Structure 1
Amino acid sequence: MTSLVDEFRSAARAAGATAADADLDAAGEYLLSRWSEPQRHYHTVAHLSAVLDVVEEFEGLAPHPERVRLAAWMHDAVYDPRALGDANERDSAEFAAGLLATLGVPAQVGDEVARLVGLTAGHATGEDDRDGELLCDADLAILAGDDEAYAAYTAAIRQEYAHVPDDAFKDGRAQVLKALLELPTIYRLEPLRAQWEERARANLERELAG
């Protein structure tokens, strides 16, 4: 069975990394340590694995799946629940570009991975951006989970924001839910939209109403 570190090494190599395998493995291990930080309850290795699973299943829909995989690894590499706005995504994008440069990934590819990471701030993609669409769809896959999975997701998010009083959290969460519901479609790629859109909207509307 391929380990996550093996998967990271393979994706980095496919993206043009020239660093030694040992350095790629060390980078993968370091990323996993970040995904295992104590302030995380939803944005954990389990979320990373879930995103990577979706990317693997639908990689044929994206022109550069190796870049999408690397963006999945990096998209919550910096995660502070107390950060404001899209600071986590901006910092994760900057982190991605820097780390990939140290691994010998060509600058153009590293910059593109960083761009993909930045998309996860608002999950809004431009036309003809299938790499970005796959990443955003994979990141939002949990929204279409069954009742148990969705309840676990919302409980974990609340844990991450335990420092926020209930009323303020409810207001902030409502803004997030409304923004997602106002997207033309939550999922951009047709096969994923066909599978998940209806269920995700039902979950979001139920949470918002509750």
Structure 2
Amino acid sequence: MEMLKALFTKLAFKYTEDLRLINQFWEEIEVGYSSPFRHYHNLNHLKYMLNKMTEYCGHLNDTGPIIFSIFYHDMVYDVKSSCNEEESASFAKNRLKEMKVPEAIIKKCEHQIISTNKHQLDDDSDTNFLIDFDLAILGKTPHKYKEYTQQIRKEYIIYPDAVYNSGRKKVIEHFLDMKNIFKTSEFQLTFEKQAKKNLKAEWLTL
């Protein structure tokens, strides 16, 4: 994942020339997302989101905060917790402060990371794209979607099927109850229809 490290280093170097600190923070990210229990929320997930960001960069106002938000949005990931996004945002805030990132960018990153929890339409278009980058897997082919659901199930292996299935149904219903799963017109056009098909098909298996 040298590409990820290079991207993080390049962005961080805009704010601090302390390479020791940058390398320390990158290693922290790499180790965190490489935990053996992370079957989906891992470095591949970050790479996928960053690829989507590159694909849609012409629609974005400021890629810097989005890149930081992608790297840190799942930094804290505990399947037993309901406040991972808030804790990830707090973690990011502390690290960005140490790198002397301006307060306005830090606040934007905090907001973006927390927004990946409820997936609600935001006043900020960049935040909406970040949410869509995070959810794009929902609109992939049925085969890719099935791989994703299997990876998520492995992450929640501590729960028996009855408990997991009940919780997973609520997650699916959370998305299906939305007028639009995706927040941007670009993602609605490309992924919305398939995402709803995938979610409905999974719901029937639970």
TM-score normalised per structure 2: 0.94
User: How far apart, in 1, do the equivalents of 2:182 and 2:7 lie?
Assistant: 25
Please, what is the CA RMSD of the aligned residues?
1.5
SS at match of 1:172: helix
**1:51-77 per-position Cα deviation (integer Å, ceiling 9, x unaligned):** 111111112212111111110101000
| CA distance in structure 2 between the partners assigned to 1:143 and 1:73 by the alignment | 20
CA 1:104 to 1:172, structure 2 compared with 1: closer, same or farther past 3 Å?
Answer: same
Q: Which amino acid aligns with 1:64?
A: D
The whole-number CA distance in structure 1 between the counterparts of 2:17 and 2:121 is: 31
What's 2:30 paired with? 32
Report if the CA contact (8 A) 1:64-1:131 is conserved: yes
- Cα-to-partner distance string for 1:22-59 (whole Å, 9 max, x where unaligned): 43233222211110012211111111111111111112
Aligned 1:145-160 pairs, distance under 5 A: 145-160=140-155
Q: Which residue of 1 aligns with 2:101?
A: 105
Q: Which runs of 4+ in 1 moved over 3 A?
A: none
How far, CA to CA, are the matches of 2:129 and 2:162 in structure 1? 34
Written as runs of structure 1 = structure 2, the 5 A alignment for 1:48-63 is 48-63=46-61
Post-superposition Cα deviations, 1:74-98, rounded to whole Å, max 9, x if no partner, equal: 1000111121x2x111100000000
> Aligned equivalents of 2:199 and 2:5: distance in 1?
34
Q: Per-residue deviation at 1:189?
A: 1.5
TM-score by length of 1: 0.92
Instruction: After TM superposition, list the pairs within 5 Å mapping 1:128-167 onto structure 2.
Output: 129-167=124-162
Distance in 1, matches of 2:98 and 2:163, equals 41
**Structure 1 regions of 5+ residues with no counterpart?**
none
- Alignment correspondent of 2:92: 96
Structure 1 residue 12 displacement after superposition: 3.0
Q: What is the aligned residue count?
A: 205
Tell me, yes or no, if the aligned pair for 1:34 and 1:77 is still in contact at 8 Å.
yes
Counterpart in 2 of 1:12?
Answer: 12
